[in-house]
Amino acid sequence: MIGSRVLAFGGYQPDKVITNDDLAAIVDTNDEWIRSRVGIVSRRVAGPDETITDMAEAAGAKAIAASGLSPASIDLVIVATCSTDVPIPNVAASVAHRLGIGAPGAYDLNAACAGFCYGLAAASDSVRAGSARHALVIGAERMTNWLDWNDRSTCIIFADGAGAAVVGPTADGEPAGIGPVVWGSAGDQADKITIPPGTQFLRQDGQAVFRWATTAMHSVAVEACTRAGVSPADLSAFIPHQANLRIIEGIARKLGVPRERVADDIVHSGNTSSASIPLALSRMAEQGRLQPGTPALLLGFGAGLSYAAQVITVP
Amino acid sequence: MTDQEILAGLAEIIDEIAGVPADEVTPEKNFVEDLDIDSLSMVEIAVAAQDKFGVEIPDEQLKDLKTVQDVVNFVSKNS
């Protein structure tokens, strides 16, 4: 059977920066409180006319360029997103067209903040099964579409951006570059993160989500390592969803991964839902914090509640 | 488990999660006012206490546990 691997990453963030002090001017909060509770110093938000499709296109173009492939050789495009303002048309087909990818399989998927890991798993399985040769997986969000700027428990956290990865087959004899996905859901807690029907605003029970993430995600991370045949101590990088720095540090501490190997992109990017993992990967690569050929653990978790984790070989 | 053992275990957890030296974790201390521990750290402490003592401390109960002694009593009563 053919194996699959990640060939390249790419990320895109809008230009506009919102600092904690900017938020303190419009809602009852302050820099110290935000830093200590969620670890965010600043976040990026899309411009008024900047769409999810625009951001997805920019991230996808970077990933394709870094892969060295021509757009024409891609035959599957998956966009993970949960923040589109309308459900039709999907984002994937438009992005594919703009990138010059001719008539690929193209669909959006919604697993909220776990979306990128779900998309990566679907792309990996498609390549391994022969349904696709090369896949482009994008996580793209405009969370500000759904933010209540008067709700200090959410507006300080969420942000906009996109990140992408190109997935392709392994060379003959090369070991698999994307480990088995460990995924699941907890629909009994669906009410913890919602956009209540008939409203336009995201609401979350922050403390309940915090408890769930710091309790349940450890074993998911361990199982993803086990299924990939890697010890957590051997991970060169750990890239959890950038939800909250306190959650990230809590999971990393339990897992025993030293801090310098753990993604902390949330500090200047905020929580960009499905975009956060590929954005953090791109950032770590730029900073020289990723060593090609070594194992890195990805762990997505969020609304649903849903989660997914897999170990990849750094391209 | 004696109250003394619970206190010692709890002090270890608080040291690891909030960086408060174990000898400062005495029964009368208030988490917020004396130990500077916020609500999210309390959740982490509750989760760690569940692992260590096998006693679940739900969010609804957690908000009423103000002092170190309150947690020791809760664990002692429910273990």
Give the pLDDT band (50/70/90) at residue B39.
confident
- Does one domain contain both A143 and A98? yes
Please tell me which residue of chain A has the smallest CA distance to B48. A215
Instruction: Give the active site residue among B34, B38, B64, B70.
Output: B38
Q: Note whether residue A174 is domain-resident.
A: no
pLDDT at residue A143 in the model:
97
Among the ranges given (A94-98, A204-208, A272-276), the one the predictor scored with the smallest mean pLDDT: A204-208
Contact yes or no for B38 and A250 at CB 8 A: no
- Does one domain contain both A157 and A28? yes
A169, A191, A214: which is the final residue of a domain?
A: A169
How far apart (Å, rounded) are the C-alpha atoms in residues A142 and A13?
11
Q: Note whether residue A26 is domain-resident.
A: yes
Q: Note whether residue A175 is domain-resident.
A: no
Q: pLDDT per residue over A127-161, tens digit each?
A: 999 999 999 999 999 999 999 999 999 999 999 99
Contact yes or no for A207 and B39 at CB 8 A: yes
- The domain that holds B25 is classified in CATH as 1.10.1200.10
Contact yes or no for A250 and B44 at CB 8 A: yes
- Does one domain contain both A123 and A64? yes
pLDDT at residue A309 in the model:
98
- Does one domain contain both A87 and A197? no
- Identify whether the C-beta of residue B78 lies closer than 8 Å to the C-beta of residue B26: no
Domain span at residue B43 reads: 3-78
A208 touches chain B (CB under 8 A): yes
- Identify whether the C-beta of residue A122 lies closer than 8 Å to the C-beta of residue A315: no
How far apart (Å, rounded) are the C-alpha atoms in residues A164 and A149?
28
B15 touches chain A (CB under 8 A): no
- Does one domain contain both A135 and A200? no
Domain count, chain A: 2
- Does one domain contain both A194 and A162? no
Render chain A in DSSP notation, one character per residue.
---EEEEEEEEE--SEEEEHHHHHTTSS--HHHHHHHH--SEEEE--TT--HHHHHHHHHHHHHHHHT--GGG--EEEEE-S--S-SSS-HHHHHHHHTT--S-EEEEE--GGGHHHHHHHHHHHHHHHTS-SSEEEEEEEEGGGG--TT-TTTTTTB-EEEEEEEEEEPPTTPPPSBPPPEEEE-GGGGGGEE--TT----EE-HHHHHHHHHHHHHHHHHHHHHHHT--GGG-SEEEE--S-HHHHHHHHHHHT--GGGB--THHHH-B-GGGHHHHHHHHHHHTT---TTSEEEEEEEETTTEEEEEEEE--
Contact yes or no for A36 and B38 at CB 8 A: yes
Q: Note whether residue A176 is domain-resident.
A: no
Q: Note whether residue A242 is domain-resident.
A: yes
- The domain that holds A57 is classified in CATH as 3.40.47.10
Question: For this structure, is A268 an active site residue?
Answer: no
- Does one domain contain both A34 and A128? yes
- Does one domain contain both A307 and A202? yes
Render A197-234 in DSSP notation, one character per residue.
TT----EE-HHHHHHHHHHHHHHHHHHHHHHHT--GGG
- Does one domain contain both A187 and A165? no
B46 touches chain A (CB under 8 A): yes
- Does one domain contain both A188 and A144? no
Given a cut of 80, whether residue A298 has pLDDT beyond it is: yes
- Identify whether the C-beta of residue A2 lies closer than 8 Å to the C-beta of residue A125: no
Report the percentage of chain B scoring pLDDT > 70.
Answer: 100
Give the pLDDT band (50/70/90) at residue A2.
confident
pTM of the model: 0.93
Domain count, chain B: 1
Average pLDDT, chain A: 96
Chain B hits for A37, CB-CB cut-off 8 Å, are: 38, 40
Domain span at residue A229 reads: 182-313
Q: Note whether residue A53 is domain-resident.
A: yes
Contact yes or no for B40 and A207 at CB 8 A: yes
A144, A169, A194: which is the final residue of a domain?
A: A169
User: In sequence order, what are the beta bridge partners of A299?
Assistant: A240, A309
Give the pLDDT band (50/70/90) at residue A44.
very high
User: Mean per-residue pLDDT for B8-26?
Assistant: 91
Report the percentage of chain A scoring pLDDT > 90.
Answer: 95
pLDDT at residue A160 in the model:
98
**And the tokens for A115?**
């979306």
- Does one domain contain both A101 and A239? no
Give Cα separations from A39 to A15, A31, A121, A132 (angstroms): 21, 10, 29, 39
Given a cut of 90, whether residue A68 has pLDDT beyond it is: yes
- Does one domain contain both A102 and A193? no
> What ipTM was estimated for this complex?
0.81
How far apart (Å, rounded) are the C-alpha atoms in residues A296 and A178?
10
